[in-house]
Amino acid sequence: MGRKGIGKLSLFSIANKIEIHTVKNSQKNGFLILPKKIQELLNKSNDKEDYHPDDIPVSEITLDRQGTRVILSDLKRRTGVAASALRKRIARRFSIIGSQYKFNVIVDGTPISISDRDYFYKLQYLWYYGKKSEQYVDYCR
């Protein structure tokens, strides 16, 4: 996937509200990042004032088991891109997407799956080997 290590900064360019929920060893933690607050701090202060994300109360952490959830909301760019086009782009971008890889991406409340790649209907022939690859036959129907 990434190579340069700057992908983590991309969140700031697309969302005005970033929530991080995480659970490790049954301990829940979460915080809220508001990029506008960071920008306000940078604009008003010549001396370097630290920014501290707001804590999310444990009762509001939406994970029940170990893992991390990143929730982007109040998106900055409102384009005419339909949810179906976004789903297709994300499904094609990530080769390890879905519950079997423990990497779920949800758009408008619906998880993205391999079928969102929307190219299986174009196949004329499909060779598969063994049970693991048999799952792709169903996508072609």
Structure confidence at residue 53 as a pLDDT band (50, 70, 90):
very high
- Among 106, 98, 80, 75, which Cα is nearest to 13's? 75
The pLDDT value given to residue 4: 66
Structure confidence at residue 59 as a pLDDT band (50, 70, 90):
very high
Task: Name the percent of the chain lying above pLDDT 70.
Answer: 92
For the whole model, what pTM was predicted?
Answer: 0.70
* pLDDT tens digit sequence for 75-119: 887 666 788 888 898 899 888 888 888 888 888 889 998 889 888
The pLDDT value given to residue 100: 82
Eight-class DSSP state of 10: H
The pLDDT value given to residue 102: 84
The pLDDT value given to residue 28: 96
3-state SS string over 19-55? EEEEEECCEEEEEEECHHHHHHHHHHCCCCCCCCCEE
How far apart are alpha carbons 115 and 128 in whole angstroms? 17
Task: Please state, in angstroms and as integers, the Cα–Cα distance from residue 13 to each residue in 8, 16, 35, 107, following that order.
Answer: 10, 8, 9, 18
For 107, residues 6+ apart whose C-beta sits below 8 A from its C-beta are 83, 86, 87, 90
Structure confidence at residue 61 as a pLDDT band (50, 70, 90):
very high
